[in-house]
Structure 1
Amino acid sequence: MRTTKMYDTLMQMGRWFGYRPGYIDLCRLYTTEDLIEWFGHIADASEELREEFDAMAESGATPRDYGLRVQSHPILLVTSPLKMRTAKNLQLSFSGDLLETVSIHNDNEVLDRNLEAVNRLIAACGTPDEINPSRIRGSLEQQWEGFLWNEVPADHITDFLESFTTHPKARKVNSTLLRDFIHTMTETGELTSWTVALLGGGEGGNHTFPGGLTIKAMPKRSADKDIADRYAIGRLLSPRDEAIDLDNAAWAAALERTRNMFNPDAGRQKNGAKPSTPDAPNGPSIRYIRGKGCASNGIAPSPERGLLLLYPLDPQQSGSTALAGRKDPVMAFGVSFPSSDSGVKVEYAVDHLLWASEYGPAE
């Protein structure tokens, strides 16, 4: 029941969760909803920082010349102000990030408006370029159920985000901030051409969108039954979905980068599983290759390419009592931004090296 607003103290408390592989089944924790949310946030921030360390190591840099960042929170502090010393809050870009709606409204009026926003986007995109798209991945073929549009203008995406209402508990996935960020990036010539995918392939029922586009099996995402004020899910995207716009060469380059960054740390594996070399690229590498390319593999950078993934979730499969009477899908989305050095939107607490490299020495 003890509360603290300091990341570092929370992480020390979090050791009771079973930080050694194979011990998590011995732990049972009863606590408050706020603390659960805070622990979830620092887990995300910690994993993001680990990815920063991996990227630093892969580039051959050291902490002496690589500025590190830690994701901030509207309530929590990374540590006490005395320990922060020269760290500052800095607005950084969404570039290189994956954002997905995992906190979703369960109010039918809001959900109807969001569905209409998706309908307008689909109508604006016109005839799909691909139906049930497939991709070669190494020696295998992957296929998706759904529809895909290429080279969608950025104004279609910003119009969609302007009319889509994200949940206030989804602090980072804010449709208004995303819209403004994309608009700012287009002024620099980036994020001007989008891939949009409407994906099914789940266990749910059918739904027909404008133009007769029928999703025959809506995805299933189970609600967290301990959270009543919203439709809260664990993960929206299937990992392979983020690479749907990569050809085989780019996918292979992203896999190579993933393996170069691979850290076989047993403590980062679920259920104490033995670490194994990745057989598919991770998200940071996918976004890096999309945005910055890979000269050694002949892949040109494409910072103008964004990816919007639309998921019509079946409310009947959600397990949420608030959605039990709903027939139409609950629309959720993921946005994959290519890596770039442009754009300023997300607030982070950063160390003095990153601050100095961006804005000069701290006063």
Structure 2
Amino acid sequence: MQVFSHISMATEDLAAQFDFMNSVVQTPKDFGLRVASHPTLEITARNKLRTGQEFKRDFSCKLSQTRVFDIDGEQYDRNFEAVEDFLTAIKSCRVTQEQYQKTHGGRKAPGKHFFYQDVSAHDIANFFESYETSKTATRANSKYMADYIRTMNADGIGGVKTWTVCLINVSGHGKAFDIAGLRVDGGIYRKEGFGVDSYDTTCSIHTMTSADHEYLDYDNVAYEEVRELKEKYKNDCSKTKVNEIIRSETRPFSKGLLILYPIGDAGELTKTQENHKVPFGFAAVFPDRKGRGDLKSYRMNEIALEKDIDELYG
């Protein structure tokens, strides 16, 4: 039964990739395909496997964010719809500024952002399934995040079980817009050549997050601990390493954070927006799983491997 279940899952996953490959008008020659592997079952005969390597997608103790975007107005529209459908689905989880302060030990809600608390992992995974990351992305692919979240919630593991969602609301860049019954004043700004690099068909944003955004769901006590750890390690580790230490020591295994970023001004990404919807990016913060959970393995083809290396080192 378990073997049949795995074959069914792997087949459905591969079929979904073919559907997506077709929707972005690519062929297997330029699309990074993956096939879920199994400890005892072979994907095909060994003499047919040729190249490819196995990888496990592990988001443990990571802040994973969209960096590369396709310059594609229709994709902006689809992702806007995915965000709106998601926010509508979790509308009962939305909290006011006063409720946020009450549940965060008196900490005031930063800015005018919109917050949703105790969002289920099921809703988060569904959003990641519907959001389209760039067709050039393999490592920061939202579909992998959906797989990871479902794995962490399987068999009573209890990882990233409840989430806080923050919809960033800033003014000064881009037009105000309505989404899921909310009025958003504008989007984030990244300057061409400094915070963003534009190419023919893609746009690379160096970072979606601003200082301390990954602690938007922390109460006063936890946030004070963050400040103490920053001071403790400020001369000993890189900023990336310090952030991982802080996640490991302060973020509960059950708690995740998803930040949704409307993009108001970011090079060619918004210059070519025309009458299309506001493009959206996101950042997801995952706790340290400390070895818990049996992660799904994938065998990736040469194209996927090449893109993976580019994302990691490019």
| 2:160 counterpart of 1:206 | no
Deviations along 1:221-262, one digit per CA (max 9) or x if unpaired, are: 345455222121111011221101111111121222222222
TM-score by length of 2: 0.66
Match of 1:238 in 2: 210
Correspondent of 1:227 among 181, 191, 199: 199
- Unaligned runs of 5+ residues in structure 2 are 1-52, 299-314
1:259 aligns to what SS in structure 2? helix
Q: Which portions of structure 1, spanning 4 or more consecutive aligned residues, are displaced by more than 4 angstroms?
A: 131-142
Question: What is the alpha-carbon distance in structure 2 between the residues aligned to residue 154 and residue 138 of structure 1?
Answer: 24
Match of 2:260 in 1: 310
Correspondent of 2:82 among 100, 117, 136: 117
Give the number of the structure with larger relative contact order, counting CA–CA contacts within 8 Å between residues 6 or more apart.
2
Q: Is the 8 A contact 2:165 2:257 kept in 1?
A: yes
Question: What is the alpha-carbon distance in structure 2 between the residues aligned to residue 286 and residue 121 of structure 1?
Answer: 29
Question: What is the alpha-carbon distance in structure 1 between the residues aligned to residue 214 and residue 123 of structure 2?
Answer: 20
| 2:120 counterpart of 1:148 | no
Correspondent of 2:285 among 309, 322, 336: 336
Change (3 A) 1:231 1:138: same
Q: Is the 8 A contact 1:101 1:173 kept in 2?
A: yes
Over the aligned positions, Cα root-mean-square deviation in angstroms equals 3.2
Q: Is the 8 A contact 2:172 2:186 kept in 1?
A: yes
* Deviation of 1:141 (Å): 5.7
- What aligned pairs does 1:251-262 form with structure 2 within 5 A after superposition? 251-262=223-234
- What aligned pairs does 1:1-363 form with structure 2 within 5 A after superposition? 91=56, 93-127=58-92, 128-131=94-97, 143-187=110-154, 188-204=157-173, 205-210=175-180, 212-223=181-192, 224-263=196-235, 283-291=243-251, 302-314=252-264, 317-320=265-268, 323-341=272-290, 342-343=292-293, 344=295
Question: What is the alpha-carbon distance in structure 1 between the residues aligned to residue 233 and residue 297 of structure 2?
Answer: 25
Change (3 A) 1:260 1:183: same
Question: What is the alpha-carbon distance in structure 1 between the residues aligned to residue 103 and residue 117 of structure 2?
Answer: 18
Deviates more, 1:324-333 or 1:148-157: 324-333
1:149 aligns to what SS in structure 2? strand
Question: What is the alpha-carbon distance in structure 2 between the residues aligned to residue 228 and residue 134 of structure 1?
Answer: 45
Q: Give aligned pairs, total.
A: 234
1:158 aligns to what SS in structure 2? helix
Question: What is the alpha-carbon distance in structure 1 between the residues aligned to residue 167 and residue 71 of structure 2?
Answer: 21
2:189 aligns to what SS in structure 1? coil
Question: What is the alpha-carbon distance in structure 2 between the residues aligned to residue 283 and residue 129 of structure 1?
Answer: 27
Between structure 1 and structure 2, the one with the greater Rg is: 1
Question: What is the alpha-carbon distance in structure 2 between the residues aligned to residue 238 and residue 282 of structure 1?
Answer: 16
* Deviation of 1:123 (Å): 0.4
Question: What is the alpha-carbon distance in structure 1 between the residues aligned to residue 227 and residue 248 of structure 2?
Answer: 11
Change (3 A) 1:140 1:121: closer
TM-score by length of 1: 0.57
* Deviation of 1:209 (Å): 0.8
Question: What is the alpha-carbon distance in structure 2 between the residues aligned to residue 137 and residue 305 of structure 1?
Answer: 14
Question: What is the alpha-carbon distance in structure 2 between the residues aligned to residue 148 and residue 234 of structure 1?
Answer: 25
Change (3 A) 1:239 1:285: farther
Q: Is the 8 A contact 1:242 1:286 kept in 2?
A: no
Deviates more, 1:177-186 or 1:244-253: 244-253
Change (3 A) 1:346 1:194: farther
Match of 2:23 in 1: none
Identity %: 26
Change (3 A) 1:138 1:181: closer
Which residue identity is paired with 1:174?
Answer: N
Change (3 A) 1:201 1:168: same
Deviates more, 1:246-255 or 1:114-123: 246-255
